[in-house]
């Protein structure tokens, strides 16, 4: 595998962006289009996932990156919880909920796995990474 030179190279970031697009589409139609509070909460949570990955990467520090990956994973959990409530209230269709749930679980597991890799990488090299150029 090659080096990751920018956050846009990370699959977890790409996955988070894809979920963001799905949420923006979901909140642009039906009952959610008019429920400004729920729409805003969903959009803020989903954007936080990819933004925290990007922000953490840009600090050029493994320790900081891991911290922001935790925030990102937390936002994915927050979004799952919000979607569950909206599904139970009949605002989000079950099929939409299932698709988003599966995608969010995938990105959460990806973030968790990447965090584990970074911890091992940092321990092994016992140093800050060089401009976050991670080798896979």
Phi, psi for 18 (deg, rounded to 5):
-60, -40
With pLDDT > 90 as the criterion, what percentage of the chain qualifies?
85
pTM of the model: 0.89
pLDDT over threshold 50, residue 1: no
pLDDT over threshold 50, residue 80: yes
Average pLDDT over residues 80-103: 98
What is the domain count for the chain? 1
Average pLDDT over residues 47-72: 97
Strands (E), the chain: 3-4, 134-135
On the CB side of 132, CA atoms within 13 Å amount to 22
pLDDT over threshold 90, residue 132: no
What domain range is 84 assigned to?
Answer: 3-135
User: Residue 95 to residues 44, 54, 64: CA-CA distances in angstroms?
Assistant: 22, 30, 37
CATH classification of the domain holding 11: 1.20.1440.60
Average pLDDT over residues 88-99: 97
Residue-averaged pLDDT of the chain: 92
């Amino acid at each position: 595998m090659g080096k990751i030179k920018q956050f846009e190279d990370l699959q977890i970031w790409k996955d988070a962006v894809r979920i963001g697009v799905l949420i923006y589409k979901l909140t642009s139609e039906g009952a959610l289009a008019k429920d400004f509070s729920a729409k805003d909460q969903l959009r803020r949570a989903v954007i936080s996932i990819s933004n925290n990955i990007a922000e953490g990467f840009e600090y050029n520090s493994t320790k900081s990156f891991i911290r922001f990956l935790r925030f990102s994973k937390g936002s994915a959990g927050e979004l799952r919880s919000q979607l569950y409530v909206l599904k139970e209230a009949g605002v989000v269709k079950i099929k939409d909920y299932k698709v988003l749930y599966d995608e969010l679980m995938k990105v959460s597991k990806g973030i968790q796995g990447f965090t584990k890799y970074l911890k091992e990488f940092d321990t092994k090299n016992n140093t800050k990474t060089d401009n976050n150029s991670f080798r896979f």
